[in-house]
A and B are shown apart, each in its own frame.
Chain A
Amino acid sequence: MFKQSTLVSFMAAAAVALLGTPAAHAQVIKIDGSSTVYPITEAVAEDFQKAKKNAIKVTVGISGTGGGFKKFCRGESDLQNASRPILAKEMADCKAAGVEYIEMPVAYDALTVVINPKNAFIKEMTVSELKTLWEPAAQGKVTKWNQVNPAWPEAPIKLFGAGADSGTFDYFTEAIVEKAKSSRGDYTASEDDNVLVQGVSRDVNAIGYFGYAYYAENMARLKGVPIVNPKTGKAVEPSGANVENGTYVPLSRPIFVYVNAKSLAKPEVNEFIDYYMKHADKLIREVKYVPLPKAAYDGNLKHVKEMKTGTVMGGKNEVGITVEELMKREAKM
């Protein structure tokens, strides 16, 4: 009986200790959202914590852009990584919960169309060729390369692409098929881009698409397809330089970080954003993404200081938009 009573008192003590603690974690900056933006934010968080000698703690989760916005609009995270702009429905959710936010474009991501290095017949592709290949009508019909371009051999096509829950899929379909989430379904889909890298690198007749960083890290095993710029008619290689000079269209897109306006009352969140924008250029290059011009980061800091809440994107994906255009626009809630 003695043992039982000690157990009971131990459990009571545990309960008291549990209930008495919830306010202990004031100094943690919570970030969640897209896996595409994750490497950048992780690099910033890592260096920021070191610079602050671990006095400020940062946590970064990967819930995906959509899953992250759900948490963000409930006020559960301070910052939200987003590989696409906030959508109309998410704007409504945030509004309903009284969450105001400031939108900050942080980098470019270039969707890269890749083929096997042994593939000798594809030198470049046009948007309409990609559309022929990927539109829903192609399902089960377009299966040989010569159906896309008569100059190409009669070889079977092996398709690899992003899973339907990713922001990459949303943007690619919007840019190529001109309708978000509209794609053929008979291809190997994976949320894990390394699966796609493996697939394309093992099959001569394969073609796939994913974020530029995965291509940049695996150039020995993959070939990036130059995409014909619809305005100039010239084929443009996927490369950091071509994204920066604005010729790699329509497959380059800005990616964003959103900050909850209420979180800006916390000095540590302000410090973090300041650090993010000041070190973005160096860190983004290091993780193989394409940084924005310096003016964009200065603009972000200015927006944060002036509490310019809302989005300039109008609640939808937009193809071929430049960051200069973004910075000029007026944000709306």
Chain B
Amino acid sequence: MQPLTTDEIRIVIAKGKFRDNLFKAVGIFCLAFALLVIVALIADMVIKGAERFTLDFFLNFASRRAAQAGILSAWVGSLLVMLVTALAAVPLGVAAGLYLEEYAKRNWLTNLIEINITNLAAVPSIVYGLLALGIFVYQFGFGQSILSAGLTLALLILPIIIVSTREAIRAIPAMIREGSMAVGATRWQTCRYHIIPYAMPGILTGVIIGLARAIGETAPIITIGALTFIAFLPPLPFTAAEGGATAGLFDWVMSPFTVMPIQIFNWTSRPDPAFEVNAAAAGFVLMAMVLSMNAVAIYLRYKMRKRIKW
């Protein structure tokens, strides 16, 4: 084979560069497309809902008059349900992931469990709703409460948290474990002082992805019986309750409730077109809630990563 002349080499380089730039252009186009969709979506909601972005909108209950209707019971409901979901799903999910990675023996049973957990993540959410209706609402007698809804969504996001916990743990180099064990730490001490802190940023990402999915869920919440019209808030701990009693610290978990997606759905399906404005405004608020959850996660992850020194 003849050695290439300088000109031929230039052509080869130019071709390579052209392909490089071509891919860059395609990549930018794809990214712009995705961004454009979300920008259009947000802009549409902001423009349509602009006239409702007042303090009253956040402090008013639902009403038959579009201009007076607000999202108070919906956003409080969504936040409280998320709180129950996080309290239930995070300890369970992290502990399960930790066990599978650090303690469980590698055998067919563990493999079977792993496959099933991955499959659980793909089960349609309505199925969790039906399960929860039978177990939480009727069997355990939790009724149509914040507790039932929170636990239902906790089941829904449990697989996501387990899988992301395991991935975060797997990314920790083996030498960390070996080093810890070498100086005489038990397995639990290794997990407690090394594995969990180092895996925390990854776990947190999984938790937030899970919660962001859960906050937009409608189907399982409707199945267990969330309400559409509810013009009162769950009882605040230690305030006066009905009959002169004082509300207990956890009375709110048994309270009836509604959540943001149900409120939005109800507004879009009403005869009076004025409610579409409310729906757009509420949609934007829900999106802002998800975005701020993500922002908190990114911030915490950044803080925690800075503390890790390998």
A interface with B by C-beta (< 8 Å): 13-14, 17-18, 20-22, 24-28, 30, 35, 38-39, 41-43, 45-46, 49, 54, 57-63, 71, 192-194, 211, 213-214, 216-218, 286-288
Contacts and interface: CB of A to CB of B under 8 A. Distances in A.
Given A39-B64, A217-B271, A217-B272, A63 B248 contact: no
Nearest to B250: A17
Contacts of A26: 242-243
Given A18-B250, A43-B64, A61-B226, A193 B269 contact: yes
A62 B248 CA distance: 30
Nearest to A60: B229
B271 A60 contact: no
Contact of A24 (B141, B226, B247): B247
Contacts of A287: 64
A46 B231 contact: yes
A42 B271 CA distance: 14
5 contacts: A30-B256, A42-B62, A46-B64, A193-B269, A288-B271
B63 to A, nearest CB: 6
A27 to B, nearest CB: 5
B199 interface: no
Interface string B239-276: 00111010111110111100000000010111111000
B121 interface: no
B225 A61 contact: yes
A61 B228 contact: yes
Contact of A193 (B61, B232, B271): B271
Given A26-B242, A45-B231, A60-B228, A14 B250 contact: yes
Chain B contact residues, majority secondary structure:
loop
B248 A17 contact: yes
Given A38-B228, A46-B64, A49-B231, A24 B251 contact: yes
A46 B66 CA distance: 13
Interface in B104-162: 141, 147
User: Which 6 residue pairs are nearest across A and B when measured between Cβ atoms?
Assistant: A60-B229, A17-B250, A217-B271, A213-B271, A214-B271, A43-B64
Contacts of B250: 14, 17-18, 21
Contacts of A49: 231-232
A54 B249 CA distance: 22
Nearest to B276: A194
A45 B229 CA distance: 9
Given A71-B225, A192-B269, 9 more contacts: A21-B251, A24-B242, A42-B62, A42-B229, A43-B64, A45-B231, A46-B62, A61-B228, A287-B64
B229 A25 contact: no
B271 A216 contact: yes
A59 B271 contact: no
Interface of B: 61-64, 141, 147, 225-232, 235, 241-243, 245, 247-251, 253-256, 266, 268-273
Nearest to A286: B64
Q: In the complex, which of the residues B231, B266, B272 has the most CB atoms of chain A within 10 Å of its own CB atom? A: B231
Given A17-B248, A21-B248, A27-B242, A63 B225 contact: yes
Given A17-B250, A24-B247, A192-B269, A61 B227 contact: yes
A192 B251 CA distance: 35
A192 B268 contact: yes
Given A57-B232, A60-B227, A39 B271 contact: yes
B255 A25 contact: yes
Contact of B268 (A43, A194, A217): A194
Nearest to B257: A59
A199 to B, nearest CB: 14
Q: In the complex, which of the residues B229, B256, B270 has the most CB atoms of chain A within 10 Å of its own CB atom? A: B229
Contacts of A18: 147, 250, 253-254
Nearest to A7: B91
Contacts of B245: 24
Given A17-B250, A192-B269, A28 B256 contact: yes
A54 B241 CA distance: 12
B254 A21 contact: yes
Nearest to B266: A62
A54 B254 contact: no
A192 B227 CA distance: 18
A204 to B, nearest CB: 21
Nearest to A283: B64
B273 A217 contact: yes
Contacts of A194: 268-271
Contacts of A21: 248, 250-251, 254
A62 B247 CA distance: 28
